[in-house]
A and B are shown apart, each in its own frame.
Chain A
Amino acid sequence: MKVAITGMGIISSIGTTVEENFHSLVSLKTGLSTISNIETIHKDIIKVGEIKQTNEQLAAQLNLPQDNNFSRTALLGAIAAKQAVEDANITDINEYKSGLISATSVGGMDMTEKYFYDYFENEACQKYITSHDIGDNSQKIANCIGLKGLVTTISTACSSAANAIMLGARLIESGELDRVVVGGTDALAKFTINGFKTLMILSDDYNAPFDNNRKGLNLGEAAAFLVLESDAIVKKHNKKVLAYVAGFGNANDAFHQTASSENGDGAFLAMNKAFKMAKIQPSEIDYINAHGTATPNNDLSEGRAIIRIFGDNVPDFSSTKPFTGHTLAAAAGIEAVYSVLALQNNVVYPNLNFKTNMEEFNLTPQLTLKEKEINHVLSNSFGFGGNCSTLIFSKN
């Protein structure tokens, strides 16, 4: 498989553009901070990867009318998708058979949790009732980029955006679409903060993936989209190709609703499938952008799966979640952007906050910014429901 990526857009806690995100990554600047946009009793305890703009500011960027009913998830998604379309130099999105495959886990939950009871008292907020719906969020993003065509959404928890990229690549490869905008968006919500809190996997510190003393994850919010286009469009318009989707794999751990199996069966299967499709050997991978959420369970399971695939020759790897927090359904989207940036700039990002190797195995992530030739990047994303996804991005 070889599907061209011709545009990227991103908004996260480490930047509101692709350039800003890259700058933060290479200057080791984390986006984790104390929460300011959400009222929660946990605000002094947890650190999150929050985008420091209010909904009003985001809506103004999109020139939305005052009475719009965008959830924060839709606002972030629309900003990132618009950037991606502009980056791909697309002027008429409907010139070709086009689609949007989005991904989200919370959808409009930020509004639902705000107005859950108020809806019955206050007519003014009732406009947000339909914004809860995940499909409604994607439809709004499609409208913001003027797209008429195939619009759908994948919601497989924290692997969602990886799966959106997979479907998009499949639709281009099969000729079903000529052009597709793929990615994910998730806003912070009290719902997810408290959900992860009850699972006791929220760190009260800065997350430290693959560290023996890791205490859990920091949540974050973000959106990122890629534009994938057919070879025919690339040739006809002599388009600049940023990188290629070279392979992907999806498997289910079929072990537990929320926990990963100890040996990372699902992750192992997903990586294996991706290699088969990409027709490359594990030894050709120059960088792994790990899922690395810094929960005890994920890092053990993912680490074991990586060892099963790569043996003694584990390539440079890091998790970028100490920069952004875990952005749930958007995570694989922003990490796809970071993977492409790694290919373009020949860098491996450091795995911040790591101090001590895990006792279960001898895996040390890349600890400093490293420059080297990078041709293939593997990116992992795993989610509740046993969902395991791997993407391979290649330079040529």
Chain B
Amino acid sequence: MKKCYINGMGCVSAQDTYETSFLESVVINTTENIIYAIQPSYKELIPPAAARRMAKGVKMGLAASTKALKEANVEVPDAIITGTGMGCIEDSEKFLRALLDNNEEYLTPTNFIQSTHNTVGGQIALGLGCKGYNFTYVNGAISFESALLDAKLQLENEEENSILVGAADETSSHTMELFKLINIIKKESDQPYSVLGSNSTGVIYSEGATFVALENIHKDSSYAVLEALQIQNELKVEEVESFITAFLNKNNLKLEDIDAVVFGNNGDVTFDTYYSEASSLFNQIPQIYYKHLSGEFNTASAFGFWVAASIIKSQIIPQSIKMNAIEKNTFSKVLLYNQYQGKDQSLVLLSKC
């Protein structure tokens, strides 16, 4: 069985992650309950006329995927697998608003056409002329992990040799207002916001796109190996320990074999208890968090994946993402744990090439 190598990555996020090296400068937000992705310059990537019509999610996806393929030196991948939680939500809203406001009259198809969840994957395929396998997973916080699982199975058994895998999610005004209404998004009065030591419910919402070029051969550009992953629809807090140990057992590993762990803490006091539970298993190794930089959204865990792979490649943990003071010299195996409100639980294991 072949291995699944991460050979290139591209990340568009609320931080300046697209043009710069690994988290060299970060901005810590304490005052905004929605943070927006820093948009790269699309001039070289997309003709201006097309860019104006294109949804933000599609543009971010195109930018991230272009960078991932370039780094891996892949022109056209064999397959494209995308994860998104809400798809092109802005186009959905625009079409729905027009429909409701004009009593189903005077509608134009553009927003409807772009509203399907597989628009990002479809547009990337169209741009690359990639006629291969093309899937889009839409399942909350494990949308990206579902795409990873599918790609991993196909690369390991050599059904395909190079697969572009990624995630994209955009914010949109109406949905953000609805999320504020039911406290998915933190209240203004919860300021100053912080992910660690938070005592409020809800999250800081955001958006972004991360794409990775996965291949079953090692290259100079390789970041890490996608070793294993597991998805589970729901868990009780008291089941977290057995979920993690069973996953490690299945992969012939012990807790001590893990060099660093990346947690998806999002500052929601009700559900970060899942990470507290997991953290007690790993109190001898560096612990990392990232959603204070990326914000929370359905595919924020792809930012975490980008962080973990970058740590393995650089063998450095930037100060801004450290949860504890424990140091370690080498990082061979890094474990990611993410969940949202107890649901959509995932474990992803990366290892040094």
Contact = CB atoms under 8 A, between A and B. Distances in A.
B313 to A, nearest CB: 28
A151 B114 CA distance: 26
Contacts of A385: 116, 118-119, 121-123, 125, 134, 136
Contacts of A253: 131
Nearest to A269: B131
Given A116-B96, A136-B140, A386 B122 contact: yes
Contacts of B157: 174
B231 A256 contact: no
B41 interface: no
Interface residues of A, number: 64
Interface in B136-151: 136-143, 146, 149-150
A315 interface: no
A195 interface: yes
A262 interface: no
Interface string B310-353: 00000000000000000000000000000000011000000000
Contact of A191 (B87, B99, B122): B99
A265 B129 CA distance: 12
Interface stretch (B103-111, B197-205, B283-291): B103-111
A364 interface: no
Interface in A129-144: 129-130, 133-136, 138-139, 142
A228 to B, nearest CB: 15
A174 B156 CA distance: 10
B138 A153 contact: yes
B188 interface: no
A194 interface: yes
Contact of A152 (B80, B116, B139): B139
A24 interface: no
Q: How large is the interface on B (under 10, 10 to 19, 20 to 34, 35 or more residues)?
A: 35 or more
Interface in B289-303: 298
Given A133-B86, A191-B95, A257 B122 contact: yes
A176 interface: yes
A28 B239 CA distance: 52
A139 B80 contact: no
A154 B113 contact: no
Contacts of B130: 252, 254
Given A135-B139, A157-B116, A384-B122, A126 B182 contact: yes
Contacts of A42: 104
Interface string A113-136: 100110110000010011001111
A207 interface: no
A160 to B, nearest CB: 9
A242 B349 CA distance: 38
Nearest to B174: A116
A139 to B, nearest CB: 6
Interface in B68-116: 80, 85-87, 92, 95-97, 99-100, 103-105, 107-109, 112-116
Contacts of A170: 150, 153-154
Interface in B167-210: 174, 177-179, 181-182, 184
A256 B109 CA distance: 14
Interface in A375-396: 383-387
B42 interface: no
Contacts of B125: 252, 254, 385-386
Nearest to B126: A254
A41 B131 contact: no
B126 A386 contact: yes
A194 B99 contact: yes
Contacts of A361: none
B67 interface: no
A250 interface: yes
Given A105-B117, A251-B132, A41 B104 contact: yes
Contacts of B25: none
A353 interface: no
A157 B118 contact: yes
Contacts of B103: 41
B234 A139 contact: yes
Contacts of B150: 167, 170
A387 B120 CA distance: 12
Given A116-B174, A120-B181, A149 B232 contact: yes
Interface in A210-268: 250-258, 265-266
A112 interface: yes
Contact of B134 (A113, A130, A153, A252): A252
B135 interface: yes
Interface in A266-321: 266, 269
Contacts of A149: 232-233
Nearest to B100: A116
Contacts of B92: 109, 191
A326 to B, nearest CB: 14
23 contacts: A117-B100, A129-B178, A135-B344, A139-B234, A147-B233, A148-B233, A148-B234, A152-B142, A152-B143, A154-B136, A156-B121, A167-B135, A170-B153, A191-B96, A198-B108, A199-B109, A199-B112, A252-B80, A254-B131, A256-B126, A385-B119, A386-B122, A386-B126
Interface of B: 80, 85-87, 92, 95-97, 99-100, 103-105, 107-109, 112-119, 121-123, 125-126, 128-143, 146, 149-150, 153-154, 157, 174, 177-179, 181-182, 184, 231-234, 298, 343-344
Q: Which 7 A-B residue pairings sit nearest by Cβ, starting from the closest?
A: A385-B122, A135-B140, A195-B112, A151-B233, A155-B117, A135-B139, A198-B109
Given A135-B85, A153-B139, A198-B107, 14 more contacts: A41-B103, A116-B100, A120-B177, A150-B231, A152-B142, A167-B135, A190-B104, A195-B95, A198-B109, A251-B132, A254-B128, A385-B134, A386-B125, A386-B126
